[in-house]
Amino acid sequence: MPASTAHHPVRSGPGTTFERITTDCQQEWTAYIQHEFVRQLGAGTLPADAFQRYLRQDYLFLVHFARAWGLAVYKSRNIRELRQGLDSLKTIVDIEMGLHIEYCATWGITEDELAALPEARATMAYTRYVLDAGQRGDLLDLHIALAPCLIGYADIAQWLQAQPFTVRDADRNPYAAWIEMYASAEFQQAARAEHLWLNDRLAEVGPTRAAELTELFRDATRLEIDFWQMGLQGEKQSHDH
Ligand SMILES: Cc1ncc(CO)c(N)n1
């Protein structure tokens, strides 16, 4: 069950859950999952230049996302955590980035162009925020800062699939492949595994720590909203990417 539609869990003793955190951040979480960019993407009405701007910046996002998993490797306390971080890092570098480059090519964006991209402020803000949260904190802080990425995109794909306006036929929606990628069993499974990993650790935390993690999750979610907004409108003022 996606976090956004999960029922409020019964709480027993100390600790929290990912469901409780998303409920406490409901306004931001919904604004992110159901963002106008997401709606237009689902309906197939999103302007191509908005999608291309998003895709280009998402390449830069993936570079720093990979670094964040490198940080997770470094922050590991045992071989199991180390392997988990390494597997995620390898998946991003060996598979996702390759797929992203191929996908960009179908949208007329070349690898040379990707290599020379100026970074949008929204990309910088979000990725460096995640890296800082991980550096300052522990592995749980890092995972919470990354949760809007992994679990959020899985929820977004599920939410889109349930909307009457969503067009999943590739002949009628140029973004159908994007939806399918995040709706895929593989991506959904990775998000579920992350959700379980989080709930295992969240069960152990006290109220002060729970409140801290909730604010971290809220901020990361706000930065994901800004990322959609950057895709939709570009960045006004002096440097418009
Ligand atoms: C900005 C952003 N958030 C999350 C994901 C999912 O990995 C992505 N590709 N890009």
The answer to whether residue 17 is domain-embedded is no
The answer to whether residue 93 is domain-embedded is yes
Residue 212, domain extent? 22-231
Mean per-residue pLDDT, 76-99: 93
To test ligand 1's pocket by mutation, which of 63, 119, 149, 227 has the most ligand atoms within 8 angstroms of CB? 149
Atom of ligand 1 nearest to the CA of 126: 1
Element (H, E) at 203: none
Active-site residue set: 149, 224
The answer to whether residue 208 is domain-embedded is yes
At 12, is the pLDDT very low, low, confident or very high (cuts 50, 70, 90)? low
The pTM assigned to this predicted structure is 0.91
At 95, is the pLDDT very low, low, confident or very high (cuts 50, 70, 90)? confident
The answer to whether residue 101 is domain-embedded is yes
**Is the pLDDT score of 3 beyond 70?**
no
At 237, is the pLDDT very low, low, confident or very high (cuts 50, 70, 90)? low
Q: If you measure from the C-alpha of residue 119 to the centroid of ligand 1, how many angstroms do you get, rounded to a whole number?
A: 15
Q: Which residues line ligand 1 (CB under 6 A)?
A: 58, 61, 149, 153, 224, 227
**Is the pLDDT score of 54 beyond 90?**
yes
Neighbours of 12 (CB within 10 A): 7
The answer to whether residue 238 is domain-embedded is no
Rounded Cα–Cα distance for residues 155 and 108 (Å): 28
For ligand 1, atom 8, name the residue with the nearest CA: 149
Mean per-residue pLDDT, 168-195: 95
**Is the pLDDT score of 125 beyond 50?**
yes
Atom of ligand 1 nearest to the CA of 57: 1
Rounded Cα–Cα distance for residues 238 and 187 (Å): 37
The answer to whether residue 13 is domain-embedded is no
Which has the minimum average pLDDT: 56-65, 93-102, 145-154?
Answer: 93-102
The answer to whether residue 180 is domain-embedded is yes
What is the reported pLDDT for 238? 55
**Residue 136 burial by CB count (10 A; 0-12/13-18/19+): exposed, middle or buried?**
exposed
What is the reported pLDDT for 189? 94
To test ligand 1's pocket by mutation, which of 153, 179, 181 has the most ligand atoms within 8 angstroms of CB? 153
**Is the pLDDT score of 210 beyond 60?**
yes
Atom of ligand 1 nearest to the CA of 182: 6
Mean per-residue pLDDT, 83-112: 93
For ligand 1, atom 9, name the residue with the nearest CA: 58
The CATH number assigned to the domain holding 85 equals: 1.20.910.10
Average pLDDT, the chain: 93
Element (H, E) at 120: none
Rounded Cα–Cα distance for residues 8 and 51 (Å): 35
Do residues 50 and 232 touch, judged by C-beta distance below 8 A? yes
Do residues 214 and 24 touch, judged by C-beta distance below 8 A? yes
Helix pair 97-106, 48-74: axis angle to 10 deg: 170
ipTM for the predicted complex comes to 0.96
Atom of ligand 1 nearest to the CA of 152: 4
Q: If you measure from the C-alpha of residue 155 to the centroid of ligand 1, how many angstroms do you get, rounded to a whole number?
A: 12
**Is the pLDDT score of 4 beyond 50?**
no
For ligand 1, atom 6, name the residue with the nearest CA: 149
Residue 90's Cα: distance from chain center in Å?
17
CA distances to 18, 156, 203, 226 from 9, in Å: 10, 21, 12, 29
For ligand 1, atom 10, name the residue with the nearest CA: 58
Domain count, the chain: 1
Neighbours of 119 (CB within 10 A): 17
The answer to whether residue 8 is domain-embedded is no
